[in-house]
Amino acid sequence: MDEKSGVVLSQAMLAERVGWCADLVAGMVGALMGEHWNAGDVDALASGQDAGGQKLPSNAWMALRRLGWTVTAPEGVKVNDRIVRMAQEQAGRALRSAKWRADLTTGVVATWPADPLGRTPAEWAQVRAAVPGGEHLPSSIIKGRTRQAAKYRQECGRLPVDVFELEGTPRVARMLLLSACDGQQATIERGESDPGRALVRLQLPTRPDPAGYRDWTWVACPIALPPTVPASAVLHLPTLRIVAGMVRADLAYTHAVPKAQRSGHMVALGVDWGLNTLLSAGAARLHQDGTITALGSGAQYRAGGVMAKQHRLRRHGEKLHAKTDHYTRLIAGQEQHPLTGKHAVLLGEMRGVADRRSNLNDALAWSAARWAVDQAIAAGATVIYLEDLRSMEAKGMGRTHNTRLSQQVRGQIADRMHHLAAEAGIAVVTVPARNTSKHCPHCLMPLRHRKAPDRSTVTGWKWAICPNPPCRWQGDRDQGAWRRIATRGLAHQAKTVVDRATGTMTIRAVVDKLEAKAVITPTATGGDRSKTGPTRNRTTRPAPRRRGAPSPTRPRGRAGQRPEGHAPPGRKRLPRAAHRHQGVKTISKTTRRHKPSGAALGAGFHLHAHATPPRWQTIQPIPQHADHAGSLS
């Protein structure tokens, strides 16, 4: 509601006014990014010190003002200082995030290998030494940046100087970072009588080019809070975005949660990634004597249908991309080209497919993360050990499998898992993925992978068999992997490292001495089976018949339980569709609607697979049977 005029705003009107404000902010953000998108300014901002040697504030907008990086609204447009703050905050965050990419690109270009597609061990050591923090950087990230620079070299004939030449100015998102404002621009209050609702008040323009402060009015926006927000949580100013003509609020809140511990865990949940089985998880317990036992046989999170749909959308999007690129080449910048309209339609459909894929991946990530955290809560685990697959590359499994592996939402699932586990005080620790599926979880012997348990001689990857005679463990490959992950985490929990910037926990390396203890100790199943007396004689006669009495007579009614035994029940043969002869002319057309009697009789699958009746049946109709008996099966 507009507080000045008292007019109730519809969704479309609110989205329009928020869009006007977001356009003003985006224009100023673009001007700031274009002016300071260079190596010198990014290094100055990332150094954390101003020209006088004083420490820069943590808020991006305050840091930009300390450096003297200002921006103004377009001529003839009047905005307050809080609108400028939002633009500086958004631009400052983007410029700070570019520092990491700039250092990575500089290190890759400075140590350019002789063969970009195959570095030698010495060249890998050089590039890791040239990149800040490159020692623990996944190799896939370095390879991806190498491919990007190689493509630039192929097009321009030389290597790029830095990331600012390799990449253009980032695209500016249309959003309002209200967290950079104060009470003169936006406020948020929680309902006193109804804690499930909140009221956001902010100033919005009444026209796309406000000429003065009179063109800015306060708008009150009630928000229904989801049940995941605790009643005691402190709400913070949200970030507003325009999505499909509606205003979305990314609301942040703060509440007290149990602190996750780095070590000292006795029960842990191991989580393994898979292709068709997205997650395999199970719990393990560390005993006082140092032995580790498995708690149950584990569980699996299967998302085959969702992944198949995502794969279909990906292929559809690739076809649309190829067709759009072809139209772009044909149009060649001509505005009056006949294909311009079709090109615009394809662009809209392509964006729609991309949005569907994004929404599907987001829903899948939340669902999988919620499942994993619920498994940990049910098992009483205080830590989740997650296989670290940042350095995993999809190769050697065919084009289809490689693409499916590379486009799985593992990163999103891990982020959601960190968020949901923090609310329960459960730590999420990533462990190295080396040999988790290769070695036996009971004796650490290399496993033999077969296609299936009943096909032990056919080489495959799904079923694992331990060749060690004293062990002889066998099971699903993923079930063995989560046992290895859980035991490795429990054995190496003293080696857990906490990142001070992000708070994430990880085990970076495997110690051979600790790895030798990371085994599952088998537990006794059943009582004492030792021989204490003579073996009881077993009879040689066959098992008695299941039913000694003859079958009862057939009931008169339609219903009735099928009698047991081998005696025939005496049921009459069900009437069939006698006049439906499926000859060579059964696909001929008819002048009347086909009425299949087989489906009405319910006589099984084959009477439901109807063919078109022959022409002569249009003259002599199919007789309608009065007896509707049950299924033959």
Which one is the CATH code of 175-254: 2.30.30, 2.60.40, 2.20.25, 1.10.10? 2.60.40
pLDDT bracket for residue 491 (50, 70, 90): very high
Sheet of 383-388: strand order equals 292-302, 277-286, 267-273, 383-388, 427-432, 505-506, 497-498
pLDDT bracket for residue 404 (50, 70, 90): low
For 283-294, the pLDDT digits (tens) are 999 999 999 999
Q: State the CB neighbour count (10 A cutoff) for residue 359.
A: 10
Mean pLDDT of 18-44: 93
Mean pLDDT of 31-41: 93
pLDDT of residue 87: 94
Least confident of 351-355, 367-371, 611-615: 611-615
pLDDT of residue 463: 87
pLDDT of residue 604: 41
pLDDT bracket for residue 139 (50, 70, 90): confident
Mean pLDDT of 131-159: 88
Residues contacting 495, CB < 8 A, separation 6+: 507, 508, 509, 511, 514
Task: DSSP for 143-167, please give it.
Answer: HHHHHHHHHHHHHHSS--SSHHHHS
Least confident of 462-466, 498-502, 564-568, 598-602: 598-602
Q: Where in the chain is the domain with CATH 3.30.420?
A: 267-300+355-515
Instruction: Work out the percent of the chain whose per-residue pLDDT is above 70.
Output: 80
CA distance linking residue 571 with residue 121, whole number of Å:
79
Q: Considering only CA atoms, give the Rg of the chain.
A: 34
Tell how far CA 211 is from the center of its chain: 45
Residues contacting 496, CB < 8 A, separation 6+: 262, 263, 429, 505, 506, 507
Residue 91 burial class via C-beta count within 10 angstroms: exposed 0-12, middle 13-18, buried 19 and up: buried
Six-digit token string for 400: 């289809």
Angle at 334 between CA 331 and CA 340, to 5 degrees: 60
pLDDT of residue 365 exceeding 50: yes
pLDDT bracket for residue 549 (50, 70, 90): low
Which one is the CATH code of 267-300+355-515: 2.40.128, 3.30.420, 1.10.3470, 2.60.40? 3.30.420
Per-chain mean pLDDT for the chain: 82
For 374-390, the pLDDT digits (tens) are 999 999 999 999 988 76
CA distance linking residue 282 with residue 297, whole number of Å:
7
- Check: CB of residue 578 under 8 Å from CB of residue 620: no
Instruction: Name the pTM for this structure.
Output: 0.71
Instruction: Work out the percent of the chain whose per-residue pLDDT is above 90.
Output: 46
CA distance linking residue 284 with residue 490, whole number of Å:
9
HSE on the CB side for 200, CA within 13 Å? Answer: 23
Angle, helix 39-46 to helix 81-110, in steps of 10 degrees: 110
Q: Where in the chain is the domain with CATH 2.60.40?
A: 175-254
Q: What is the DSSP letter of 345?
A: H
CA distance linking residue 592 with residue 613, whole number of Å:
10
Alpha helices in 227-381 (DSSP H): 304-331, 340-379
Mean pLDDT of 588-604: 46
Q: Which residues of 292-301 are buried (b: 16+ CB within 10 A; e: fewer)?
A: bebbeebbbb
